[in-house]
């Protein structure tokens, strides 16, 4: 996020509060973790009361949820989706697999460390993390946003070469268009 536009600190605070209370998530169901998202959204846990709701396409979304293990093939799509999202945008790594590969720690085609490729703001550990943990993760993200610390998008933009290098190392058939935040 380019904070230069909003010089006024008050504006920034208000903006951050609004952003923290309106998280439109793009639940990219990469793995088995996707099964916990409906449970989080529906009546028992009701994430909508925190302002969390599903978005249909990357252009509308704020939060990219990586729910579960990421194969190399899926990583390509995830990066593409992330780059299509509009600033400010946040990434939540969801489940042990996103943290360190989890039970796929020795798999030949699964990503072990997500933040080599995408700037992750919040990790939710567990296999599976229960909806309570997911809500906790959202609360954490909200805190970060309010504190102005959730700057994954800026980080990605600034260190684009680093991320691109890592991505190109693992994705063999590289055919990405330019990143056009």
Partner 1 sequence: MEGILMSILGAIATFLLAFVVGMTYGGIRRKVIARVQNRYGPPIYQNFIDAFKLFSKTTAVHHGAMHLLGPAFLMVSAVVALMIIPVLRDNIWFTNLNFKGDLIFLIYIMTFGPLGMALGAGQTGNPNSAIGVTRGLSQMVGFEIPWVMALVALMIKYNTTSVVDLMNVQNEVGQWLIFQNPFAFVAAILASLGMFRYAPFNIVGAPTELASGPASENGGKFLFTMMSAGSVFAFVKLTLLVDVFFGGASNLIELVIKTFLLYMIPVMYGVVNPRYRTEQAVTYFWGWPLLFGFLAIIYSVYF
Partner 2 sequence: MNIIILILILFFLGAIITAFSGKISALVQDILFLIVLVVPAVLFFTGVDMNTESIITFSQAQLTFGMTPLSYYFSLIVMGLAVLAGFYTVGQMNGKKRKGYYYLNYILSIGAMFGILMSKDFISFFIFWEIMTWASYLIVIYNGKNVQKIGIKYFVMSAIGAYAMLMAIVLIHSITGSFLITDLISEYTGMTQGMQLLIPALLLIGFGVKAALMPLHIWAPDAYSNAPMSYTAIFSGALSKMGIYGMVIVFLSLLSKVPEGALIRDIVAWLAAITAAISTLWAIKQDDAKRLLAYSSIGQLGYIIIGVAIGTPMSIIAGLFLAFMHGVFKSALFMVVGAVEKQTGTTDLTEVTGLIRKMPWTFLAALISIIALAGIPPLGGFVGKWMLYESLILSDHFMLVILVFFSSTAAFLYCYKILFGFFLGQEEKEWAHVKEAPAIMIVPMVILSISSIVLGTYPQLILKPINAAMMSFGLPDTYGNLWKESILFNKWGNQIALAPIMYGIMLVFVIVTIFLFFRNRSRTRYVTTKDISTSGEIIKEHENLTFSRGFFQPFLRAVEPVMKRQIDKYMLSFAKGVEDLFEFTRRIYNGNGQTYAIYAMIFLIILLMFGKNLLG
Site for partner 1 in 78-137 (CB under 8 A): 85-88
Task: Based on DSSP, count helices (H) and strands (E) in the chain, helices before strands.
Answer: 7, 5
The helix or strand, by DSSP H or E, that contains position 92, with its residue range, turns out to be strand 90-94
Residue 87 partner contact from partner 1, partner 2, none using kind-dependent CB cut-offs of 5 to 8 Å: partner 1
Site for partner 2 in 125-164 (CB under 8 A): none
Q: Considering beta carbons, is residue 17 or 127 the nearer one to partner 1? A: 17
| 59 binds partner 2, rule: CB under 8 A | yes
Task: Figure out which of the listed residues 3, 45, 84, 133 binds partner 2, where binding follows CB under 8 A.
Answer: 84
| 49 binds partner 1, rule: CB under 8 A | yes
In order, the DSSP letters of 25-88 are EEEE--SGGGGHHHHHHSTTT-GGGGTEEE-SSGGG-SEEEEES--BHHHHHHHHHHHHHSPSS
Q: Which residues neighbour 173 within 8 Å (Cβ) at sequence distance 6 or greater?
A: none
- What are the residues binding partner 1 (CB under 8 A)? 1-2, 6, 14-15, 18-19, 21-22, 24, 42-43, 46, 48-49, 51, 53-54, 56-62, 85-88, 180-181
């Amino acid at each position: 996020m380019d904070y230069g536009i909003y010089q006024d600190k008050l504006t920034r605070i208000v903006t951050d509060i609004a952003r923290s209370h309106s998280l439109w998530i793009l639940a990219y169901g990469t793995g088995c973790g996707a099964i916990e998202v409906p449970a989080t959204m529906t009546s028992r846990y009701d994430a909508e009361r925190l302002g969390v709701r599903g978005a249909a396409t990357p252009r509308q979304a704020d939060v990219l949820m990586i729910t579960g293990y990421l194969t190399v093939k899926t990583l390509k799509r995830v990066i593409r989706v992330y780059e299509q999202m509009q600033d400010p945008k946040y990434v939540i790594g969801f489940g042990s697999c996103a943290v360190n590969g989890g039970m796929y720690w020795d798999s030949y085609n699964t990503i072990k460390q997500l933040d080599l490729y995408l700037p992750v703001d919040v990790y939710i550990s567990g296999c599976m993390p229960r909806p309570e943990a997911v809500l906790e993760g959202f609360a954490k993200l909200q805190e970060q946003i309010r504190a102005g610390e959730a700057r994954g998008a800026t980080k990605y933009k600034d260190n684009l070469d680093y991320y691109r290098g890592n991505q190109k190392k693992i994705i063999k058939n590289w055919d990405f268009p330019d990143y056009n935040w």
